[in-house]
Amino acid sequence: MSRIIGGALPNIPWQEKPKGYKMPVWRYDHNPVIQRDAIEDSNSIFNSAVVPFKEGFAGVFRCDSKALSMDIYPGFSKDGIHWDICEKPIVFQGDNEEILKREYRYDPRVCFIEDRYYITWCNGYHGPTIGVGYTFDFKDFYQLENAFLPYNRNGVLFPRKIDGKYCILSRPSDTGHTPFGDIFYSESKDMEYWGHHRHIMSTVKGDDSAWQSTKIGAGPIPIETDKGWLMIYHGVINTCNGFVYRMGCALLDIDQPWKVLCRSKYYIMAPYETYECVGDVPNVLFPCATLTDGDTGRIAIYYGCADTVTGLAFTTIDDLISYMEKNPL
């Protein structure tokens, strides 16, 4: 048995695994939980981040407008399934006008550390880089310095300091759709200057685990367990029909997270349903957030579907770790 190191979340969205279902992750019966037109001006709403907040939940959502302008919007929910997303994007406050200039914003993550909710996202600053900000209430938002130079994506914070330092995952990239990419780790004493960069893991060449042969990127905030940090990530293969995004998992050392203890050879979830295979960008699963219940080991995963809508899936810590240990890379 494995155990999540974290508090109870008795109101976590949940459905039991269907009888006879063999995969470790299963979908919510009424997906998508957020349709592409949930706000008036949206073309699509996907790749979004969710956290417990007060008696319910809050989140930051990628909404591409009908002009196909990419930005991030706050939203709230009582049950984690039915969402009210604000009609206007986040307006950040900050001390430096240079950093507050907006080119584009997309693919947010939200991570509660100590006393505030930190937000990271792919931020346009002469190319894609990792934007960093925070909020206390999902009403007022404050922007900090970008974490890295361009070009970088998939900036994902750890939910607590390790050896007194903030920690982040990222994937160096390019200006386009990046036909390559490994996952790296960095540290900071102040959430501004990042260093001590370490390589975590690479793509898998050949056909031993071909679903993750082109690029990989961190997904939700890593989950602390009694066996290490559970990292859910996306893996990509380039096919004759373009990129296909699937979901995998790995276990990282609790004190030195750049050391991989175990990694799934098989994907844990793949595009299958129509809303995952058909959309603005077909055949994409892109996990961005999890909710966890330390008492039961339950995990709810929020993921983007075909760059168009938002889906919800379920698993448990035992399902994921046992599946990974049974099918290691």
Which residues is 93 bridged to in the sheet? 142
Which pLDDT does position 244 carry in this prediction?
A: 98
Which pLDDT does position 64 carry in this prediction?
A: 98
Which pLDDT does position 214 carry in this prediction?
A: 97
Q: What are 218-258's pLDDT values in tens digits?
A: 999 999 999 999 999 999 999 999 999 999 999 999 999 99
- Whole-number Cα distances in Å, 51 to 68, 78, 87, 109, 289: 26, 12, 20, 10, 8
Count CA within 13 A, CB hemisphere, residue 114: 9
195, containing H or E segment: strand 194-201
Mean pLDDT for 296-302 is 98
pLDDT category, 175, cuts 50, 70, 90? confident
Q: Where are the domains of the chain?
A: 36-326
Homologous superfamily assigned to 36-326: Glycosyl hydrolase domain; family 43 (2.115.10.20)
Query: Is the confidence at residue 47, as pLDDT, over 90?
Result: yes
Q: What are 184-218's pLDDT values in tens digits?
A: 999 999 999 999 999 999 999 999 999 999 999 99
Q: What are 11-30's pLDDT values in tens digits?
A: 999 999 999 999 999 999 99
Sign, CA dihedral 233-238-239-242, equals positive
Mean pLDDT for 275-296 is 98
- Whole-number Cα distances in Å, 321 to 70, 132, 252, 292: 35, 31, 12, 15
pLDDT category, 269, cuts 50, 70, 90? very high
Let me know how many helices (H) and strands (E) the chain has, helices first: 3, 22
Which pLDDT does position 177 carry in this prediction?
A: 82
Q: Strand 141-143 to strand 92-93: parallel, antiparallel, or no bridges (unpaired)?
A: parallel
Mean pLDDT for 304-315 is 98
Which pLDDT does position 14 carry in this prediction?
A: 98
For residue 284, give the DSSP letter: B
**What percent of the chain has a predicted confidence (pLDDT) above 70?**
100
Find the angle CA(16)-CA(266)-CA(202) to the nearest 5 degrees: 125
Mean pLDDT for 69-91 is 98
Find the angle CA(14)-CA(81)-CA(112) to the nearest 5 degrees: 85
Kindly report the number of other CB atoms within 10 A of residue 318's CB atom.
13
Contacts of residue 190, Cβ cutoff 8 Å, sequence gap at least 6: 166
For residue 36, give the DSSP letter: T
**What percent of the chain has a predicted confidence (pLDDT) above 90?**
98
Q: What are 84-101's pLDDT values in tens digits?
A: 999 999 999 999 999 999
